A = this chain, B = another copy of it.
Amino acid sequence: MVTIKDISKKSGFSTSTVSKALNGSSEIGEETSELIKKVANEMGYFPNAAARLLKTKHSNNIGVLFIDEMQSGLAHEYFSAVLNSVKDEAERLGYDMTFISRNIGRKPMSYYNHCKYRNCDGVVIACVDFNDPEVIELIQSEIPTVTIDHIFNDCTAIMSDNLKGSSELVQYIYDKGHRKIAFIHGENTSVTQRRLSGFYSTCKKLGINVPNEYIKPARYHDPKSSGLATRELLNLKDPPTCIMYPDDFSFIGGMNEIEKHGLKIPDDISVAGYDGIYLSQVLRPQLCTFKQNTEALGKEAARNLIMAITDRKTFVPKQIWIEGELLAGKSVKETDF
């Protein structure tokens, strides 16, 4: 490995001069600067991140916290799409991305300590249990963080506009003539809470009566759980004409259950999902859903995190709402009321 010492020897300048020249300091004369750079190139020099980091404390590396309850991990299409976008934008801005886990070298370690250990300049937090004390510890620490789809005090949040999304879906379903709309909502996350709120408020606005039995809890991103909820809904004396699901993925469970009941989508029952994952658009019939802008979400997350890192003093936490787009699909049937 060739170091600045080697360059120093070969070029005859001191290591500090070499360092400064290589970092483009104006302190060094143009000629020497050029010479040093030339020598460095010839010798195949590149800096050692560890040594540099030890002094500067800047790693040019951001961490991502990305662990979901359902263990789907990177197979979670929505989040992996967001993450991919984070990665692309971070790379464009010169940052690498490292996954943060709870252990290091076989020793357990909190998220926060892990980040400090790895000297992450900042952290993107997505798809985790936001009630986890360790997550809270990390967010409240001095390390810049941005969260995706969850709002914390004094922490920049990139939010997919779930309220608006579910609201638009309800409006669309209403416009198609439906008045008996059921909602299966994922439990215990702020994301699904917002979707539920959007559902309620829009129903109220439109004057739709929603019996309690039309609201079923289910686990987020869990087809089985939504399947059970679907069964209950279909067995009601007065079943709904349209069922809204927590997310596209969960809908699959519902779809199977609807098939078992011998019903056809959308002729016998209408359905809508959420997310707009690829799958939803290749199903037959195409699923009516709300597509989240994963690319914008990830990009904004990376950009804002890096801004927070760079302008640490002046940066103020903010919330950024990313809008999505209704994909009508063909799973909601025009109906009379």
Any B CB within 8 A of the CB of A260: no
CB contacts (< 8 Å) of A140 on chain B: these are none
Q: State which residues 257-305 of A face B: CB under 8 Å.
A: 278-279, 282-284
- Is the pair B77, A75 in contact by a Cβ cutoff of 8 Å? yes
Q: Mark A83-119, 1 if CB is under 8 A from B, else 0.
A: 1100110010110111111111111010001001111
Judge whether A73 is part of the interface by a CB distance below 8 angstroms.
Answer: yes
Q: How far apart are the CA atoms of A60 and B102 in the complex, in Å?
A: 14
Is A54 among interface residues, defined by CB-CB distance under 8 A? Answer: yes
**Please, how many angstroms separate the alpha-carbon atoms of A74 and B119 in the complex?**
25
How many copies of this chain sit in the oligomeric assembly?
2
A interface, how many residues as a size bin? 35 or more
Supposing A74-B87, A88-B73 touch, asked if A94 and B117 sit within 8 A by C-beta, the answer is no
Given the known inter-chain contacts A47-B117, A99-B97, A282-B255, please indicate yes or no for A87 contacting B73, CB distance below 8 A: yes
Complex Cα spacing A106 to B164, Å: 37
Task: For A57, give the chain B residue with the smallest CB separation.
Answer: B50
Centre residue among A1, A74, A99 by max chain B CB count within 10 A: A74
A-side residues, CB < 8 A to B, are: 1, 46-51, 53-54, 59-61, 73-75, 77, 80-81, 83-84, 87-88, 91, 93-94, 96-107, 109, 113, 116-119, 252, 255, 278-279, 282-284
